[in-house]
Amino acid sequence: MQRRTPGVRFNADGKAEVVLWSPSAQKVEIILLNDHKKIALNGVDFGYWELTTTAIKPGGCYKFMLDNDKELPDPASLSQPDGVHGHSQTIDLKQFNWTDGNWQNPPLDDYLIYELHTGTFSTDGTFKGIEEHLDHLLQLGITAIELMPVAQFPGGRNWGYDGVYPFAVQNSYGGAEGLMQLVNTCHNHGLAVILDVVYNHLGPEGNYFGEYGPYFTSKYCTPWGPALNFDDTWCDAVRNYFIENALMWFRDFHIDALRLDAVHAIKDFSPTHLLREMKQRANELMPETDRTHYLITEVDLNDNRFIDTLDNHGYGMDAQWIDEFHHALRVTAGGDRNGYYEDFNGIAHLAKAYEDAYVYDGQFSPTRKRYFGSSAAGFPGRQFVVFSQNHDQVGNRMLGERSSQLFSFEMQKLMAGAVLVAPFVPLLFMGEEWAAQTPFQYFVSHTEPALVEAVRKGRKAEFTAFHAEGETPDPQSEGTFNRSKLSWDELNSAHSAVMFKYYQKLIYLRKKLTTLHILNREKLKVTFSEDNKTLLLQRWHGNEKVCCAMNFSDQLQQIQLPADAQWQVKLDSADAQFGGPTASAQPQNQTLSIGPQSIVIYSN
Note whether 437 and 490 are within 8 A (CB). Answer: yes
Q: Judge whether 264 is annotated as a binding position.
A: yes
Domains of the chain, by residue range, sit at 523-603
pLDDT for res 588: 85
Q: Cite the beta strand spans of 46-89 per DSSP E.
A: 48-53, 61-66, 70-72, 88-89
Residue that wins the pLDDT comparison between 110 and 459: 110
In terms of pTM, does the model score above 0.85?
Answer: yes
- Neighbour-count burial of 542, counting CB atoms closer than 10 A to its CB (0-12 exposed, 13-18 middle, 19+ buried): exposed
Q: What pLDDT, on the 0 to 100 scale, is given for residue 470?
A: 76
Return d(Cα 427, Cα 112) in angstroms, integer.
6
- Please say whether the beta carbons of 145 and 194 come within 8 A: yes
Q: What are 327-386's pLDDT values in tens digits?
A: 999 999 999 898 889 999 999 999 999 999 999 999 999 999 999 999 999 999 999 999
Residue 198 marked in a binding site: no
- Nearest to residue 205, comparing CAs of 459, 477, 458, 451? 451
* Residue 377 annotated in ligand binding: no
Q: How confident is the model at residue 467 (pLDDT cuts 50, 70, 90)?
A: very low
Residue 466: pLDDT above 60? Answer: no
Specify the pLDDT at position 465: 58
pLDDT of residue 70: 85
| Helix-strand-coil split of the chain, %, nearest 5 | 30, 25, 45
- pLDDT at residue 543 is higher than 90: yes
Counting residues of the chain whose pLDDT is more than 70, the rounded percentage is 99
Mean pLDDT for the chain overall: 96
Tell me which H or E stretch contains 42.
strand 42-43
pLDDT at residue 584 greater than cutoff 70: yes
- pLDDT of 203 higher than 70: yes
Give the pLDDT confidence of 513-537 residue by residue, as tens digits: 999 999 999 999 999 999 999 999 9
Q: What is the mean pLDDT of residues 440-467?
A: 87
Q: What is the pLDDT of residue 2?
A: 63
Q: Which pLDDT band holds residue 36 (cuts at 50, 70, 90)?
A: confident
Is 395 annotated in some ligand binding site? yes
Q: Which residues are catalytic?
A: 261, 298
394 labeled binding residue: yes
Annotation: CATH topology of 523-603: Immunoglobulin-like (2.60.40)
User: For 250-269, what is each residue's pLDDT tens digit?
Assistant: 999 999 999 999 999 999 99
- 262 labeled binding residue: yes
State mean pLDDT over 406-435.
98
Say what the pLDDT of residue 338 is: 87
Count other Cβ atoms within 10 Å, centred on residue 210: 11
Give the Cα separation of 336 and 345 in Å (integer): 11
